[in-house]
Amino acid sequence: MSYDILVLGGGNAALCAALMAREAGATVRLVEWAPEHSRGGNSRHTRNIRSMHDAPADVLTDVYSEDEYWQDLLKVTGGQTDEKLARMAIRHTAGCRPWMSKHGVRFQPALGGTLHVSRTNAFFLGGGKALMNAYYRSAQALGVEVTYDTEVVDLELEGGTFRSATVIRNGAEEKIHAKAVVVACGGFESNLEWLREAWGPPAENFIVRGTPYNTGRVLKALIAKGAKSIGDPTQGHCVAIDARSPKFDGGIVTRVDCVSLGIVVNKHAERFYDEGEDFWPKRYAIWGRLVAQQPDQIAYSIIDVKSMGKFMPPVFPPLKAGSLAELATMLTLDPAALEATVRRFNDAVRPGTFDHTVFDDCVTEGIAPPKTHWARKIDTPPFYGYPLRPGITFTYLGVKIDERARMIMADDKPCANVFAAGEIMAGNVLGKGYIAGIGMAIGTAFGRIAGEEAARHVRG
């Protein structure tokens, strides 16, 4: 079979590309590896898009300028970003919502418990799966040919020009020819073997928060066929999540939001990082790596009853005990060691006025690491503990692209008819770190650009 445009992948970026290309008049085939019920890659676990706006706009309050957005991005990436591409994505988010609405996506004010991002992030009514459902409905109505359960196993690239893709569906191999291809099939975070290659043995203890279908097979093939890679395989969006979470697809509910309210210890019952460094929404993205660096990649967030009910309820109930020693036993920690750590911490807590909504003056003195805000003694039973593991959300290793979303080859020349969008090229913008809603911003912006450019290429 032959089409104008073949889209590999079935998440947000893929659908944005397919819809744009179809709207431009191209015939489009989209192949999604997941079965229909699990379609949508990691996008189905998302809930918002970080959006620039120069004035209050529909669900967004106040102003979030291009420069402020760029500064936020610059800060989390530590400069590991491409300013031109980043600003393209940022500007794109200012104007893409009407198009999204046209395709059935609905927005709502920030969710309960997330008011801190009501200025910067536009939330999808019903979350990312509802958004994907809307896009798939629109794609069907517009005549995009979608097949599920279809794995891409190989690509035919001749001197940087795409010829065909080989896919397997229901055990049968099919070669799909197209005049252009949009590669939007994610990173490699659900490929445990590849994670082990990158991270070594600690990867054994990683939990994959999203889709099990992002095995990076296409990414690997592209790099092997001469695509220029970008990003570090150990970089990704990795947060500390409940150690009891499912190995894959646990999504949002696995998060544990009480880190800044208490202390976090490793398996030796020792603290290892300032839990009160910044507001949790600004720090949750670093705790995955912090836990990954601890022995056996396990940590425990410990609070007392004073903090109960002051954070978003996690999906798994906490372990609860009347004494620290008892809690330590439940968490398989050495009771004496935990008691000693808490005693040292409590002794270091200075008097202050606790207020979790501001940078308060509750600090520790004379311990390392310090706790620089929200430091309260852990002294009132019952005590609660949540076990934590690194939860990998997505990886940043990808293919390099230009401003037209064309894939760049190792010789720095762009491919004529290979375009990349979404997680597979997110590393161009996001070399490290994370800010909420940036993944959907990159996916939407470059998905739409890739679809448009691919259609332009086909029209000639």
Partner 1 sequence: MSAGNGTRLEELVAEAQRVLAICNACRYCEGYCATFPALERRLEFTESDVHYLANLCHNCGACLYACQYAPPHEFQLNFPRVLAQVRQQTYRKYAWPQALGALYERNGLVVGLATAASIAFLFIFTSLVSDPARLFQAYSDAQGSFYAVIPHNVMAGFFTGVSLFVMLAFVMGFIRFWPDLGEEPGEFVKPRTFAEALHDVFTLKYLDGGSGDGCTYPDAQPSYARRTFHHFTFYGFMLCLAATSVATVYHYGFGWKAPYALISVPVLLGLAGGVGLLVGPAGLLWIKSRRDPLLADPRQDGMDVGFLVLLLLVSATGLALLFLRETRAMGVLLAVHLGVVLALFLTLPYGKFVHALYRFAALVRFHLERRRPRPGIAPE
Q: Does 369 bind partner 1 (CB under 8 A)?
A: no
Among 61, 133, 166, 205, binds partner 1 (CB under 8 A): 133
Measured N-to-C along each axis, helices 66-77 and 83-95 cross at an angle, to the nearest 10 degrees, of 130
Binders of partner 1 among residues 42 to 61 (CB under 8 A) are: 44-45, 47
Using the rule CB under 8 A, give the single segment among 70-78, 113-121, 339-347, 400-408 that binds partner 1: 113-121
Q: What angle do CA 274, 279, 283 make, to 5 degrees?
A: 65
Q: Does 305 bind partner 1 (CB under 8 A)?
A: no
Q: How many residues does the chain have?
A: 460
Using the rule CB under 8 A, give the single segment among 49-57, 76-84, 293-301, 310-318 that binds partner 1: 310-318
CB-based burial of residue 382 (10 Å sphere; 0-12 exposed, 13-18 middle, 19+ buried)? middle
Q: How far is the CB of 439 from partner 1 (least distance, A)?
A: 15
Six-digit token pair at 253? 């509910």
Which residues does 135 contact at the CB level (< 8 Å), separation at least 6? 12, 15, 16, 19, 103, 104, 105
If the CB atoms of residues 94 and 312 are measured against partner 1, the closer one turns out to be 312
If the CB atoms of residues 113 and 322 are measured against partner 1, the closer one turns out to be 113
Cα(443)–Cα(208) distance, integer angstroms = 20
Q: Are 387 and 331 in contact (CB under 8 A)?
A: yes
Six-digit token pair at 277? 């460094």
Which residues does 188 contact at the CB level (< 8 Å), separation at least 6? 194, 195, 214, 215, 216, 219, 220, 233, 395, 397
Q: Does 127 bind partner 1 (CB under 8 A)?
A: yes
If the CB atoms of residues 63 and 115 are measured against partner 1, the closer one turns out to be 115
Q: How far is the CB of 261 from partner 1 (least distance, A)?
A: 11
Q: Does 249 bind partner 1 (CB under 8 A)?
A: yes
Among 68, 151, 232, 257, binds partner 1 (CB under 8 A): 257
Q: Does 137 bind partner 1 (CB under 8 A)?
A: yes
Whether the link from the prior residue into 369 is cis, omega within 30° of 0, is yes
Q: Does 252 bind partner 1 (CB under 8 A)?
A: yes
Q: Does 313 bind partner 1 (CB under 8 A)?
A: yes
Cα(459)–Cα(265) distance, integer angstroms = 59
Measured N-to-C along each axis, helices 438-459 and 83-95 cross at an angle, to the nearest 10 degrees, of 90
Count the site residues for partner 1 by CB under 8 A. Answer: 40
Among 216, 251, 387, 447, binds partner 1 (CB under 8 A): 251
Binders of partner 1 among residues 191 to 210 (CB under 8 A) are: none
Using the rule CB under 8 A, give the single segment among 41-49, 154-162, 291-299, 337-345 that binds partner 1: 41-49
Q: How far is the CB of 318 from partner 1 (least distance, A)?
A: 12
Q: Does 384 bind partner 1 (CB under 8 A)?
A: no
If the CB atoms of residues 258 and 415 are measured against partner 1, the closer one turns out to be 258
Among 61, 108, 229, 293, binds partner 1 (CB under 8 A): 108
Six-digit token pair at 293? 């660096």
Q: Are 266 and 298 in contact (CB under 8 A)?
A: yes
Cα(195)–Cα(73) distance, integer angstroms = 25
- The helix/strand/coil state of 449 is helix
Q: How far is the CB of 131 from partner 1 (least distance, A)?
A: 9
Q: Does 125 bind partner 1 (CB under 8 A)?
A: yes
- The helix/strand/coil state of 427 is helix
Q: Does 142 bind partner 1 (CB under 8 A)?
A: no
Q: How far is the CB of 365 from partner 1 (least distance, A)?
A: 26
Among 311, 345, 383, 446, binds partner 1 (CB under 8 A): 311
Using the rule CB under 8 A, give the single segment among 115-123, 224-232, 298-306, 377-385 that binds partner 1: 115-123
If the CB atoms of residues 44 and 87 are measured against partner 1, the closer one turns out to be 44
DSSP 285-328: HHHHHHHHTSGGG-EEEEEEGGGTTSSPPPSSPPEEESSHHHHH
Q: How far is the CB of 44 from partner 1 (least distance, A)?
A: 5
90 half-sphere exposure, CB direction, 13 A CA radius = 25
Q: How far is the CB of 200 from partner 1 (least distance, A)?
A: 28
- The helix/strand/coil state of 248 is coil
Among 9, 41, 128, 443, binds partner 1 (CB under 8 A): 128
Q: Within a 10 A sphere around the Cβ of 67, how many other Cβ atoms?
A: 11
Q: Are 236 and 189 in contact (CB under 8 A)?
A: yes
Cα(183)–Cα(169) distance, integer angstroms = 18
Q: Does 314 bind partner 1 (CB under 8 A)?
A: yes
- The helix/strand/coil state of 238 is strand
Q: How far is the CB of 401 from partner 1 (least distance, A)?
A: 29
The footprint of partner 1 (CB under 8 A) covers: 37-38, 44-45, 47, 104, 106, 108-109, 111-113, 115-116, 123, 125-130, 133, 137, 246, 249, 251-253, 255, 257, 309-315, 317, 356-357
